[in-house]
Structure 1
Amino acid sequence: MPDLLDIIVRTSVAFFVLMIIAHVLGKQMISQMTYHDFIAAITLGSITANMAFNLQIKLVYMLTAIIVFSLITLLLTLVALKNRASRKWISGDPTVIIENGKILESNLKTLKYTMDSLNQALREKDIFNIEEVEYAILESDGHLSVLKKTPYQNIIKKDLVNMTSPPKEKFPVELIMDGKVIEKNLKQNALTNEWLYQELDKRKLSLKDVFYAVKGTNNQLVFDLYDDKLSSPIDIQ
């Protein structure tokens, strides 16, 4: 009977500790997982299970282990938020596997991602003909993002108003991330720092104001500022 009561107490403690940690670590832990999230979830689950049922290990030791591991996980998350290079190592990098309608076999091989897996992921997006795809990217959390070729894209009201021959879609070019210019992307797309700063000047912005900037599929420029001027951001409950 004492053992049964001990299990009930330890299981209850494990549940509430895990709930608290889930709130501290944030929503990303319960969404599709990156390398970092996957390792953290498995380890926390294992420690919590031992906390509940392994009566040979003192409860205080298990609590110490789960708190220390949670702090490490939180620290890595904060590092990933602050440093893009670290974020790539901690969370992984998106990888282009279809570019300009062509499958990049070398990237598939590197990712150990088969054509069967690719076709399945496309079918889940209601794409049964791979020829419809202009770009496909395997994101760091394992899901596939797809940009269709122009003739296969869904028509929206804007298209009906302007029924001219659409321009060829281009892949979005990230220009600024975390307030820093991505020099590699500028160079690969024949863009210059001078051009970028001119675009900032046109909008009366400086680099320190910009969190993220991208040149979109139709060459439109989008600048997201650190100061979004939102008094009450929406949070879906």
Structure 2
Amino acid sequence: MEELVSISGRTIVMFVAVLLFFRLTGKKDVGEVSVLDIIITIMVAELAVILIEDTKMPLIRGLTPIALLILLSRVFSYLQVKNQRFRDVVDGKPVLLIRDGVFIEENLFKQNYNIDDIMMQLRDKDIADIQEVDWALLESSGSLSVFKKNDHSPLSLPLIMDGILQHKHLDILDIPEEEVHQALREEGIHDIRHVFYCSRFQGNFFIQKKNSATTD
């Protein structure tokens, strides 16, 4: 009976600890979870199980590594927000799989994607044939974003994020780098590091300076 009470108490404590972990990480759904988050979540779950089953282990010994993992998760989240290079390593970048109704074989191979995989996802989006597709992007979350040829909205990707020019996005959208710099100069911006975000939609550039100063 005493052991049952101990296990019940530990279960409640670990439930609160794991709940606190998810609340502090700020994730709302699985699609927002990075690889690092998955690793940390698995480790927290394993520690929770060990601490519940081993009633001889002091709670503090199990809660200490969990607290450390929560701290690591917060640090990684901060770095992902503040440092794009770190974010790219952890989360990756969107990859173009289809352009103008044609597979990009090299990218399919790099992402370990086969034709059956992508056709199944296209059918899930009520697309019967690849010729209906204008663009298909494999997002860093693993989901597939598809733009049909008859869609009125063209594909738009960030051209500048956190003061860093997104060369891969320029290649995907076929936008010359000089065109972006020209748009910045027209807005009186001579240092790309002063730009928080820049995109182009329907031929028009949107530029947001850092410190919430905006212009378009």
Q: How many residues align?
A: 210
Instruction: Name the residue aligned to 2:148.
Output: 148
TM-score (norm 2): 0.83
Instruction: Name the residue aligned to 1:101.
Output: 101
Whole-Å separation in 2 of the counterparts to 1:121 and 1:186? 26
Instruction: Name the residue aligned to 1:211.
Output: 196
**Unmatched 5+ residue regions in structure 2?**
none
Instruction: Name the residue aligned to 1:135.
Output: 135
How far 1:132 sits from its partner (Å)?
A: 0.9
TM-score (norm 1): 0.76
Amino acid at match of 1:189: I
How far 1:29 sits from its partner (Å)?
A: 6.2
Instruction: Name the residue aligned to 2:158.
Output: 174
How far 1:24 sits from its partner (Å)?
A: 1.1
How far 1:183 sits from its partner (Å)?
A: 5.9
Q: Would you say the 8 A contact 2:92–2:140 is kept in 1?
A: yes
Q: Would you say the 8 A contact 1:34–1:92 is kept in 2?
A: no
Secondary structure of 1:213's partner? strand
Deviations 1:170-205 (A, max 9, x none): 64353320133446766862232640323423xx99
- What pairs with 1:100-119 in structure 2 (closer than 5 Å)? 100-119=100-119
**Unmatched 5+ residue regions in structure 1?**
155-168, 230-237
Instruction: Name the residue aligned to 2:176.
Output: 190
Deviations 1:27-48 (A, max 9, x none): 2564443322222222222222
Whole-Å separation in 2 of the counterparts to 1:81 and 1:26? 13
Whole-Å separation in 1 of the counterparts to 2:45 and 2:155? 40
Whole-Å separation in 2 of the counterparts to 1:186 and 1:142? 21
Change (3 A) 1:228 1:49: farther
Whole-Å separation in 2 of the counterparts to 1:170 and 1:144? 16
Percentage of matched positions with identical amino acids: 28
Secondary structure of 2:212's partner? coil
57-66 vs 174-183, greater mean Cα deviation: 174-183
